[in-house]
Amino acid sequence: MKVRPLITAVMVLALAASVGGQGPGAGGGPAAKVPITQTINWNDIMFPTQTQRVVPRDQEQKDPVKLFDNVYYVGVQTVSSYLITTSAGLILIDTTFPDTVNLVLDHIRKVGFDPANIKYVFSTHAANDHYGGSGRIKQVVPGVRIGMSQADWETVEQDMPKLMAQPGNKMVAFSRDLVISDGQTITLGDTTLKFYVLPGRTPGAIGIEYQARDRGKSYRAMSTGALGTPFSPKWDEPYIKSIARLKTLGPFQVWLPNHPFMVLPHDIADIEKALATRGQGPHPALVQPKVLNDYLDFITELIGRKMAIDKYQGLI
């Protein structure tokens, strides 16, 4: 995918519009600032619009997929959720929305596992579509431990009452449980997860490193909530630092997105199709280090340009 010409064209237009809005008016005084950064959908640049899937909540159903011997996609059409199986129980990464989490539970059953065996739920970042179902899972599995970073727990605790006050919201309240720190490891049976706190998308987004197993081989895998546009301009700079850190932590051989349509390295739908015809070939979810590093460089450049515009606009 060739992203640099696209980003260059969009940013040139954006900067031109921004500068135009700052120039002298007819009376010689400065014109009103144009909040150009608010008119750019940065996610549409980061993740091509033709691949993005937006559906009504009642159409979110998607059949689960066995991606690796120990990793299953149990999410929905628009948001990822991954089940990691271990010799001592189950780990769930992200829960999707409050009103789609029951689909996730059904998907876990459909691939042959009992949700009662979920030991940990980890939210990759403090966004309702990723942590929103946690309370419902706690209802079903009272002993489950819900993990987030300190900063994201604080965000969730601020946002949850507002979300629950919205008409029709189906969120089940939950309270602070397991606080994840940078560099922490958690072992469950034959599986060890390592966590990295990567502020930017949210104040305490995390990356989760683990081994994805396939046909007797193990691959270094990463699931992270660090990608996507920062929710606030003040997180632009930490975001750029976190992406740079992700690059130094690599190489990763498997990179599973927290939305299935984040096409680089792979769209989950493409992986699913390729698995059906794989035969004896390599696993279709494997990614070459250069492909991933080039994409992380692109994201760094993109948010760097966003930060420049945000500063020019006085937003940070």
Q: What is the dihedral of CA 197, 212, 192, 91, to 10 degrees?
A: 80
Q: How many CA atoms lie within 13 A of 166 on its CB side?
A: 10
**35 domain-assigned:** no
- Half-sphere exposure (Cβ direction) of 308: Cα atoms closer than 13 Å: 13
- Domain-embedded: residue 181: yes
**Would you say residue 248 lies in a domain?**
yes
Q: What is the gyration radius of the CA atoms in the chain, in angstroms? A: 20
What pLDDT does residue 63 have?
Answer: 96
- What confidence score (pLDDT) does residue 290 get? 93
Task: Give the domain extent around 62.
Answer: 55-312
Contact, 111 vs 134, CB < 8 A?
Answer: no
Residues 36, 309 contacting (CB under 8 angstroms):
yes
d(CA 280, CA 270): 18
Tell me if residue 146 falls in helix, strand or coil: strand
Q: What is the mean pLDDT of the chain?
A: 88
Those residues whose C-beta lies under 8 Å from the C-beta of residue 243, and which sit 6 or more positions away, are 200, 226, 227, 296, 299, 300, 303
pLDDT band at 130 (very low <50, low <70, confident <90, very high): very high
**Tally of structural domains, the chain:** 1
Per residue in 7-25, pLDDT (tens digit) is 444 444 444 344 333 333 3
pLDDT of 22 reads: 38
95 lies in some domain: yes
pLDDT value at 179 more than 50: yes
Q: Does any domain span residue 18? A: no
**What mean pLDDT comes out for the span 111-129?**
97
Lookup result for tokens 């769209």? 267
Burial class (CB in 10 A: 0-12, 13-18, 19+), 29: exposed
**41 falls within a domain:** no
How confident is the model at residue 118, as a pLDDT?
Answer: 98
Nearest alpha-carbon partner for 222 in 111, 71, 66? 71
Please report whether residue 19 resides in a domain. Answer: no
**CATH code: domain of residue 263:** 3.60.15.10
* Tokens standing for residue 5: 């010409």
pLDDT tens-place string over residues 52-89 = 778 899 999 999 999 999 999 999 999 999 999 999 99
Local structure of residue 13 (DSSP, 8 states): H
Helix (H, G, I), strand (E, B) or coil at 223: strand
Structure confidence at residue 197 (pLDDT): 98
pTM: 0.88
Whether 31 is covered by a domain: the verdict is: no
Could you give the angle at the alpha carbon of 240 between the alpha carbons of 304 and 315, nearest 5°?
Answer: 55
pLDDT winner (highest mean) among 37-46, 52-61, 192-201: 192-201
